[in-house]
Chain A
Amino acid sequence: MGKITFIEHDDTEHVVEFKAGASLMQIAVDHMIPGIDADCGGECACGTCHVIVADEWYDKTGTPGDDEQQMLSMTPELAKTSRLGCQVQTTEAMDGMTVRLPEFQM
């Protein structure tokens, strides 16, 4: 158990509890966080689960795979610490992490 803060593009904050193991996308979706669509349900097929990880937490999320990088490269609002939420599996080490949501998904 730990906490992750999701921040909408208009700066609204949502602090939610998570159990390590679920994907960042699943946690956001289960908590009805606006700004994430996740249309394909986590299959890395739609590109609508874009999140921007706070700089200092980025390393903890691992490295995006080649598929993910290709999907991300076309998202509007792409940042250096962008990830597809469905491809980030949460760990205990992410307790306290902050993640921003873009204004628009693909």
Chain B
Amino acid sequence: MANRRQDATVIVGGGHAAGSLLTTLLQKKYQQEVVLVGEEPHPPYQRPPLSKNYLAGDIDEESLYLKPRSVYDDAGYQLRLGERAEHIDRDNKTITLSDQSTLKYGQLVLATGSRVRHLNAQGADLKGLHYLHDMADSDALREQFVPGKSLVIVGGGYIGLEVAAIAVKAGLKVTVLEAVERLMQRVTGPEISAFFYAKHRGAGVDVRLDTAVTGFEAGNHGYVAGVTLADGTTVPADLVLVSVGIAPETALAEAAGLPCDDGILVDEYTRTNDPDILAIGDCTRHRNLFFEQTQRMESVANAVDQARTAAATLMGEDRPYDAAPWFWSNQYDVRLQMVGLSHAHDERVVRGKPEDEAFAVFYLRQGHLIAVDAVNLPMALMVGKKLVYQHREVKAQALRDPDIELKSLI
């Protein structure tokens, strides 16, 4: 194409953010040459099913792909998979890859995502200890799903709980160990935590709150045999999943001298402080006009929204990131959908009854709706998406009253 500038736009990282960026650029008919460098051997794929239906064996590898590989090939986008970007030379605008080749960039987009936090406890290097972040991890876990085996999950966040739901259905004996006093504490309020606690207990999962893990006990052949607790007892285990959160993958950016603070710092246009380098997805601490403070998010919605913002920025459009975050989780037959961030609330309103397995919690701050968590009640999520985005003032009574249609609040 005649008006292509000389140096390619290079995307580092091959996850959800990178994949969405490729797609958006393609749809917007971006005229630059585009090269994606991704460490994993797969074209960009979705991670949510790794703890849900893919782990259960209900869908195959190809249905995880954001697009069939041929879409990128047909567009002339180059995917360099199985290669890691090792170093950025900002003066010469090149990156060095793991095969020692260098790649010149005009614009560089970092989409390096996150890595799982490892436990530094005694015995943490034993065999049979799993983490869950990529396709290979999910495959490895599924292979161990043999009825009757004992699985101990360290961490009662949504990923650990989704795995618990699939594992107990597969006939495993499942224990969840959570350090604090309620499940999913980081992302939701007490009513939702209590609901999922009851749901998992009812399904036969042994959920233990306020339970600190001190280490892992060795069995035969270097395999884990149990998880030791602060109270001196041991929970027997044939396999263990450690699911205690993630950390943004910022090493590459930090080494290149880009400002980072628990995430690569970017503005509402996804720009770092180097005009030729953008960053998107889990690896960023970013500005989103919806919030007053910078945020770090671990969600598909953020990866996709930032990818769309970056595409606009690359094409010289003025389209800042301005969106209410949203999220979902599937456990058993329950779909949890969330919009907004709830932790700064000063009032909670529950609509519907948890025992009916269809209810929602509305989080207000000074009378304004800041977040909604909906359990099998998509209407609350959809109405919430609008009202939360607008920081709307709403009457608690109207949210609570089953005779007032949620739709009428818009």
Contacts and interface: CB of A to CB of B under 8 A. Distances in A.
A34 B308 CA distance: 14
Contact of B376 (A32, A34, A67): A67
Interface in B3-32: 23, 26-27
A67 B382 contact: no
B212 interface: no
Interface in A5-51: 26, 29-30, 32, 34, 37, 39-41, 43-47
A40 to B, nearest CB: 6
B379 A70 contact: yes
B158 interface: no
A73 B382 contact: yes
Contact of A43 (B66, B326, B328, B407): B328
Given A32-B67, A34-B27, A39-B304, A45 B337 contact: yes
A1 interface: no
B300 interface: yes
Contacts of A67: 335, 376, 378
A106 interface: yes
Contacts of A75: 382
Contact of B378 (A26, A34, A71): A71
B379 A29 contact: no
Interface string B52-82: 1000000000010011100100000000000
A38 to B, nearest CB: 10
Nearest to A42: B63
A70 B337 CA distance: 13
A47 B281 CA distance: 21
Contact of A45 (B27, B63, B71, B328): B328
A94 to B, nearest CB: 19
Contacts of A32: 23, 26-27, 67, 71
A71 B407 CA distance: 11
B27 A41 contact: no
Contacts of A34: 27
Interface in B233-290: none
Interface centre among A26, A37, A40, A47 (most CB of B within 10 A): A40
B46 interface: yes
B368 interface: no
B380 to A, nearest CB: 9
A46 B410 CA distance: 18
A73 B49 contact: no
A74 B328 contact: no
Contact of B407 (A39, A46, A73, A106): A73
A45 to B, nearest CB: 4
B301 interface: yes
B351 interface: no
B63 to A, nearest CB: 8
B330 interface: yes
A67 B330 CA distance: 14
A41 B385 CA distance: 18
Nearest to B28: A34
Nearest to B52: A43
Contact of A70 (B63, B328, B330, B377): B377
B376 A74 contact: no
Interface of B: 23, 26-27, 46, 48-49, 52, 63, 66-68, 71, 300-301, 304, 326, 328, 330, 335, 337, 376-379, 381-383, 385-386, 407, 410
Interface of A: 26, 29-30, 32, 34, 37, 39-41, 43-47, 67, 70-71, 73-75, 106
14 contacts: A26-B63, A32-B26, A37-B304, A41-B48, A41-B66, A43-B330, A43-B335, A44-B335, A45-B335, A67-B376, A70-B377, A71-B381, A73-B407, A74-B385
